[in-house]
Structure 1
């Protein structure tokens, strides 16, 4: 299952700094180094996001042998590509990571003449803000950042303000993740989640400092279970399998994309600059763009597919009604794609240090 659903890693340091720390201990897999040939494909993806069923079906249909390695953060993936010896033909970066990889020239522009099915993508994933024209990546799955609440404690909630309300002191959790916390801090103070304005970041920092006095804590692991048992009244949350399971099993728990906007994240496929098996890479991209294959990301992986036509092929129809998997278009109309803050990262880092120390 997608362990990442309760441990999504959002940028907490510049990619260059993180790469310098990680690259010395993270080499490419021995099975990949120096490999070549048209009948092999080496993929580096988020743990659980490309189901084994998809890989097996691709292998059976094409005769291409797939080696699938997994990571648990964009920073780990970036570090391996930076090492120059990873040997991968496809990687699965999140949206802000696509921007960083492009800046570091670690992924190559896609040859759209070799891709079929881009028109199957939902509108919000065609020509997205983080990758205009889908020049470097093809979205595979997506999700949101919002919050969840237990109606035995809170009758109804639609705003980030709920997580900042002192009447729920000791019963509210925030994600233990810098930029995820700042999504709420920025939006609750009237800014966009994509803001890089120092004054707006400082205002968000103050809001988060004040909020911390009332929090039960920061939690990126078992908050869905705390909500289910009533130990938490509300918690900032990521959508996905773990949250969706709690909603399906417990009618008292509700997942909300706040009226201030929340955010959308997406993970897609990109071709590394030094990929050797590019023919196989494009075959896999085209394979995943087929609606019936994209639907397997939901049925077998518990994630929302970026492929609009995949909905017709989803076997578990209840998934389409679960807001922790497929929120409505209305719910995400004001959601931002979280982007790479660039030089403004230092303001977030400085602010987060103050929040944690308060």
Structure 2
């Protein structure tokens, strides 16, 4: 789907995209070597996901000068790499984008002999379905797609069925994002969010079409505020800063991953093909894998860290308990990584056209 709050439209797989389609220490001795470039590093990352405090500390510890450029969609990042003249040493693709970049040969396999700290990652992010063996990417931050509800309207809710319930007609919102909506449509009809089966997509299309009479609308912007004021009873939602703030401030608003699973996304680091400053790139990856540094993604960036050991270093303990930041291990057990649908994209596009026109 970054602050990955409501821009998570791009992360849960942006409509624009889909429809168009350490050394624990720092400053290792290889910085500046002839084979890996000089003491500089060019990074291209999601806006707000690598806090300034992290960059500054890395520069102080290593003497490496970091240039951090930011993007707001995987498509923008991919287009830059495709141009062949981007000049970046590290990029931060989302999980489905990692698949696409591998297929386009735009990122290099990682040399795991040069990486220290992969064992700090939580189990969910080791050997992920989109990048077996973490061959091409190191997950950095993560979040989920689920729903939120206001208990003044709905006493409790655990299933996507809540968003399809006639009794809440006119007070339900869905994300205005094709594949995000299909997560609910597929799972509520018994399929996986990763399904590319034409028949299952058609069943999901029928469910989403029927749901439309219940909805107040599709909303990817201010739904957390609508939930907080009670104008919405429930809404499909992305975890992240905006949703987390409402959950923290309003005890009546609850964010949940549905019992059917919901989905999980992650943004990680990859080395583009032809990167010049690879020594610095590996130093930065190792730096971010240090638990005390990874904790800064939460304290200074408001994001959940993929680093299991980082939780001991997070100062904002309330964030660890906020499901709109850190969903529980039990909650994400059934959550799917949303993958690149490949040729099945046409079935989603055709179905979404039907849903929106109904």
TM-score interval for Structure 1 and Structure 2 normalised by the shorter chain: over 0.9
Maintained 8 Å contact 1:118/1:289: yes
- Partners of 1:17 and 1:242 in 2: CA distance: 27
Maintained 8 Å contact 1:13/1:349: no
- Partners of 1:94 and 1:192 in 2: CA distance: 20
- CA displacement at 1:76 relative to structure 2: 1.1
Whether 2:58 is the aligned partner of 1:58: answer: yes
Within-5 A mapping of 1:287-298:
287-298=287-298
Maintained 8 Å contact 2:3/2:301: no
- CA displacement at 1:12 relative to structure 2: 3.6
User: Which residue pairs with 2:341 in the alignment?
Assistant: 341
User: Which residue pairs with 2:78 in the alignment?
Assistant: 78
User: Which residue pairs with 2:39 in the alignment?
Assistant: 39
- Partners of 1:259 and 1:169 in 2: CA distance: 22
Equivalenced residue count is 340
Maintained 8 Å contact 1:141/1:266: yes
- Partners of 1:16 and 1:336 in 2: CA distance: 21
- Partners of 1:232 and 1:148 in 2: CA distance: 10
- CA displacement at 1:153 relative to structure 2: 0.6
- CA displacement at 1:196 relative to structure 2: 0.3
Maintained 8 Å contact 2:141/2:267: yes
- CA displacement at 1:240 relative to structure 2: 1.0
Moved over 2 A (4+): 11-18
- Partners of 1:296 and 1:13 in 2: CA distance: 31
Within-5 A mapping of 1:141-160:
141-160=141-160
Give RMSD over aligned pairs: 1.4
User: Which residue pairs with 2:305 in the alignment?
Assistant: 305
User: Which residue pairs with 1:193 in the alignment?
Assistant: 193
- Partners of 1:206 and 1:212 in 2: CA distance: 10
**Normalized against structure 2, the TM-score is what?**
0.93
- Partners of 2:132 and 2:16 in 1: CA distance: 25
Within-5 A mapping of 1:1-358:
2-8=2-8, 9=10, 10-12=13-15, 18=21, 37-358=37-358
Deviations along 1:34-58, one digit per CA (max 9) or x if unpaired, are: xx94111111111111101000000
User: Which residue pairs with 1:29 in the alignment?
Assistant: none
- Partners of 2:87 and 2:280 in 1: CA distance: 14
Q: Please identify, of 79-88 and 182-191, the stretch whose mean Cα deviation from structure 2 is larger.
A: 79-88
**Normalized against structure 1, the TM-score is what?**
0.93
Three-state SS of the structure 1 residue aligned to 2:214 is coil
Q: Please identify, of 65-74 and 138-147, the stretch whose mean Cα deviation from structure 2 is larger.
A: 65-74
Maintained 8 Å contact 1:13/1:345: no
- Partners of 2:213 and 2:329 in 1: CA distance: 35
Maintained 8 Å contact 2:257/2:332: yes
Three-state SS of the structure 1 residue aligned to 2:69 is strand
- Partners of 1:86 and 1:356 in 2: CA distance: 37
* Structure 2: gaps (5+ residues): 22-35
User: Which residue pairs with 1:26 in the alignment?
Assistant: none
- CA displacement at 1:14 relative to structure 2: 6.4
Three-state SS of the structure 2 residue aligned to 1:213 is coil
- CA displacement at 1:230 relative to structure 2: 0.7
Three-state SS of the structure 2 residue aligned to 1:315 is coil
- CA displacement at 1:3 relative to structure 2: 3.5
